[in-house]
Structure 1
C-alpha cells in the first residue's frame, strides 16, 4: 500500500480551535483537516440539527413538483411511485409511497424487474401505469436520462416527476418537474444527496401543506440513512444531518421491517458501517435474486408477523446471493489468470451465464484483488450488461463516456456505473476501455492507498481520545474514520497469525513503555515483519474491543511496514 500522510493543518487554527473547544491538539487538528475551524462549525459537526437542513424549495422545480402532487391528491388521481431495484431505489419508493399513503388511498408502487426491464424507467412500467389509469408517475433514483420514456408517457397523458441524483445528460426529460441537484441550473446548496435524500426533500416540501413539521418526518430517516450508507455518497453537510438522525431512529424506533431483519443482531448501537454490511445487503438481495418489490413490501409493512415472514424470505435471497457471488468471483479470477490479463490497466471479464444480480459485487471484489478499474459482463436478453467499479481517484464514468461509440447505454457515478452493449461491440469496447484507462490513469492510483491523518505516539491513545473520536461518527466519504500512524514500534512477543490459515494478525505493540492490543485483518502474511524484536511502522484506526463484558481499546491495523 501507498502511505499518504495528510499535510499538517495551520498550527494557529489548530491552537485557536483547541482553546475554543477545550480539546487536545489531536482532536483540533483532525477537525481543521475536515474544514471545521470555529466553535460554531464544531457545534454543527458534533450536534447535527434538523434545523440545519436546507429549505427544499431551493431545489429547482420543487414548487412545480409539490403543486402537481397536491393537484393529484385533491383530484383523487392515481399516483405511481416508481424506483430502481437497489437499496437507494427501494428505500426511496418505501419512503415516498408510505408518506403519500397517509394523504391518499390512490398510491401504487413499481420496481422494474432487473432482468426483464433493466435499470431505470421502462416502457413496461409506463404501460402498467396506462393500464391502471395512473396519471402521475414519480420516479426516484432514476429518470434523469429517460428522455424517450418520458416522451412516451406524455403521449399517453401520463405526467412525470423525476427525483434523481445522477449526472444529467445533454437533454433533460420533458417532465412536469425534474428534481436533481446535479443539474447545472439548480442552485440547491448541497449537490451530494442520494436518491432517497431527494425523495425526503420532496416530502419535507409537502409537509407544511398538511400541517406536518420536521419532527413528523423523523420516522422516515431510517430509510434515508440506509440509502446514504449503501449508495456511498459523502457523509458531509446535509447528508451528515440526515444520517445522524436516521441512525438514532434505527437504534431507538426502527420500522417493523428493520426490526425483523435485525432479530439476530445483538449490538448496543448500530453504526453506519453496520447498516451498510447488515441491512443494505439484505434489502439489495431481493432485487438481485428475486424482485425489488419484495424489499419495498418489507420496508413498508407494519404487521410484525408479516414483516418477520418477509424478512425470512429475504434472508434466503441473501444466502443465495452470497453463494452466487462466491462462485462467480472464483470463475472470474480463473478467467483473468488463464487469459494472462494481470498486466493490463483494466479488468474486463464476461461469461454469459453469470447472475446479473451479483456482477456489481463481483466487480467490487475483483477491484479489491487487482486494484484497477473493473467491468464484469453477463448476457441480458440479446444484449450484454455490465457493472463497473473503479479505484480511488479514477473517474470510471468519464472513461465510459470516452468509449460511448461502443456502448448502447450507460449511467452512474465516478466510482460505480452500469452499461449495456451488443455482443458485436464487446471486443472493440474492451480494447477501447483499456486504451482510455491506460492513457489517462495516474499509475500511482493502481496501488491501494492508505491516507493517514497524522502520526501519533501510543501514550496519546486514551479512553478520552477514543470517546471524542466516536463523536465524529457517522463516518463515510468526506468524513472517514481517522487513520493514524506510529513509527518504530515492536511486538511484545506474542504476535501471531489467527483465524483460518493464519489469515489475520493479532499482536500487542509497544513503544517507550506503552503497550496496546492490535488486530490486523488479512495481514497474517506480514507476521514475519513483527518477529525477532524487529521495529516496524503501523497505520491503524482506534477501536474498542468487547470481550466477556469487558471493554478495552485496540488498534485496527490497516497496514504494516518494516
Structure 2
C-alpha cells in the first residue's frame, strides 16, 4: 500500500470556515478538500435541498423529449421504455415506466437478454416494438452510440428518445431527442448523472409540464439513489442531493420491491454502503443469472406480498451468483499462476464456459488481487465477450481504444468497460493490450494507494466531531468517507485474528500519552497477517475510517482499519 497524504488545505480558508461555522480545524480542512470554501457552500453541503436540483430543461433536447412523449400520449401511441440489464438500467426503466403509468396506461418495458442480445439497444428489442405496434422507444442508460439501431427503427416508423450518460462518439443517433450531459453541445450544469439520474430529470421535466413540483416526485428517488450508489458516479452536486433524499425514502417509505429486499435481510436502517453491497448486488443478480425483467418486476410491483415473492426469487439468484463468482475467480487465478503471468502489467484471461453474468465481478476480484487493469473473457455465441476493470487513475477505455484493431465492439468508461471480439483476434488483443498498458501506466499506479485526509489524535474523536462527520454522508467518489492517520497506537492486549484462515484482525486501540481514558474497537479486513506487528503493546501507526455500529438499539463507534505499519 502507498500511503498518500492529501495536500494541506489553504490555512486562510480553513481559518475562515472555523470561524464562520464554529468547527475545528480538522472538519474545516475536510470541507476545503471537498472544494467547500464559504459558509453558503457549507450550508448547501450539510443541508442538501431539492430546491438546488437544476431545471431539467437546461439539458439539451429535453424540450424535444417532453414534446415527443406528450405527442405520443395525445395520439394514443404505444410507448416502450428500454434499458440495460444492470442496476442503473433496470432502476431507470422502473422509474420512468412507473411514473408514466400514473397517467397513461399504454406503457411497456423491455430489458435485453444479457446472453441473447448483449449490452445496449438491440435489433431484437426494436423488432419486438415493431411487432407490437410500438412507435416510441425511450432508451435509458444506453443508446448514445446506437446509430444503426436508431436508423433501423426509423425505417419502421419507430422514434427513439435516448437518455444516456456514457461518452458519445463522433456522431449522435438520429433520434427525436438525445439526452446526455456529456454531449459537447449540451451545457447542462452537471454532467455526472447516471442513467437513472437522466430518467429522473426526464420525469421532472414531464412533471413540470403537467404542473407538478419536485415534492410530487420524491417517491421515485429511492430508485435514483440505488443507481447512483451502484454505478459509482461522483457523490457531488445533484447526485448527492438525490442520494440524500433517496436514502430517506428507502428508510422511511420505500416502494414495496425495495421494502421486500430489506425485509428479507432484517436490517432496520440502510446507509449508502448498504445500498452498494446489499440492495444493488441483488438487483444485478436478476440480469446476471436469469433476466433483468425480474428486477423491473420487483421494482414496479406495488403489492407487498407479490413483491416478497419476487424478492425471494432474486435472493436465490444472488446465492447462485455468489457460488459462480467464487468458483470462476479460483479458476481465473489458477490460470494466471499456471501461465506464469503474475508479473505482467495486465491480466487477460479466457475460458469458454465461464458464466457471462459474473465475469465483471471476477474481473474486479482479479484487479483487487494483482492490482492491474484486468479483462475476463468468456464465449458468447460465435464471439468472445469480456468485462474490463481498472485501477485508480488508469483509463481502461482509452487503453481499449488503442486496441480497437482487435475489437469488434466496446463501450464503457474510465474504470469499467465491456467488449466483444472474434476468437481469432484474442491472442493479438491480449498481446496488444499488455503492450499498451506497459507503455502507458506509471509505476506508482501499480501499487494500491490509500489517500489520507487528515492526521489526528484519538482524543479528537468526540461526540461533536462524530455528529458533524455523519453529516458528510452520503459518501461516494469525490466525497469518500474521510480517512484518518494516527501515530503511536497500541493494542491493549485484546487483539486477535478472525474470519476464514484468520484473514482479519480485531483490536482495541489506545494512543500513547493521550488523555482519553477509553480506547476504540477497531477491525481490519484482510490485515490478519499483521497481527504480529501489534503484539505486546508494540507501537504502530494506522489509517482508518470511523464507523458507527447500530445493534440492539445501541450505537457504538468502531475504527475500520485500512492499513497499519
Asked if Structure 1 and Structure 2 have the same fold, meaning a TM-score greater than 0.5 normalized by the shorter chain, the answer is yes
Confirm whether residue 105 of structure 1 aligns to residue 110 of structure 2: no
Confirm whether residue 536 of structure 1 aligns to residue 550 of structure 2: no
Aligned pairs (5 A) from 1:101-500: 101-500=101-500
After superposition, what is the alpha-carbon deviation per residue over 1:130-161, rounded to whole angstroms, capped at 9, x for unaligned?
A: 00011100100000000000010011110000
Q: Displacement of 1:268 after TM fit?
A: 3.9
Q: Displacement of 1:502 after TM fit?
A: 1.9
CA distance in 1, matches of 2:110, 2:494: 57
CA distance in 2, matches of 1:282, 1:178: 30
Contact 1:493 1:533 in 2 (8 A): yes
CA distance in 1, matches of 2:128, 2:267: 43
After superposition, what is the alpha-carbon deviation per residue over 1:168-216, rounded to whole angstroms, capped at 9, x for unaligned?
A: 1111111110000001111011110000000110110010222211111
For the residue of structure 2 that corresponds to 1:37, the secondary structure is coil
Report which stretch shifted further, 523-532 or 174-183. 523-532
- In structure 2, the residue matched to 1:507 is 507
Q: Displacement of 1:392 after TM fit?
A: 0.6
Q: TM-score, normalised by structure 2?
A: 0.98
For the residue of structure 1 that corresponds to 2:247, the secondary structure is helix
Which ranges in structure 2 are unaligned for 5 or more consecutive residues? none
Q: Displacement of 1:547 after TM fit?
A: 5.5
Q: Displacement of 1:233 after TM fit?
A: 0.3
Report which stretch shifted further, 152-161 or 461-470. 461-470
- How much is the aligned-residue C-alpha RMSD, in angstroms? 1.0
Q: Displacement of 1:549 after TM fit?
A: 4.7
Q: Displacement of 1:548 after TM fit?
A: 5.6
CA distance in 1, matches of 2:273, 2:555: 20
Q: How many residues align?
A: 561
Q: Which runs of 4+ in 1 moved over 6 A?
A: none
Name the CA shift for 1:189/1:2 in 2 (closer, same or farther; >3 Å).
same
Report which stretch shifted further, 258-267 or 344-353. 258-267
For the residue of structure 2 that corresponds to 1:264, the secondary structure is helix
Q: Displacement of 1:501 after TM fit?
A: 2.5
For the residue of structure 1 that corresponds to 2:424, the secondary structure is coil
Confirm whether residue 527 of structure 1 aligns to residue 531 of structure 2: yes
CA distance in 1, matches of 2:81, 2:537: 63
- In structure 1, the residue matched to 2:82 is 82
After superposition, what is the alpha-carbon deviation per residue over 1:447-501, rounded to whole angstroms, capped at 9, x for unaligned?
A: 1111000111111111221111111000000100000001122222221212232
Confirm whether residue 518 of structure 1 aligns to residue 522 of structure 2: yes
Report which stretch shifted further, 458-467 or 28-37. 458-467
Which ranges in structure 1 are unaligned for 5 or more consecutive residues? none
Contact 1:336 1:342 in 2 (8 A): yes
Contact 1:466 1:543 in 2 (8 A): no
Q: Displacement of 1:82 after TM fit?
A: 0.4
For the residue of structure 2 that corresponds to 1:424, the secondary structure is helix
Report which stretch shifted further, 95-104 or 493-502. 493-502
Q: Displacement of 1:32 after TM fit?
A: 0.8
Q: TM-score, normalised by structure 1?
A: 0.98
Contact 1:87 1:227 in 2 (8 A): yes
CA distance in 2, matches of 1:272, 1:545: 14
Name the CA shift for 1:58/1:548 in 2 (closer, same or farther; >3 Å).
closer
After superposition, what is the alpha-carbon deviation per residue over 1:72-112, rounded to whole angstroms, capped at 9, x for unaligned?
A: 01101000100000000000000000011112111110000
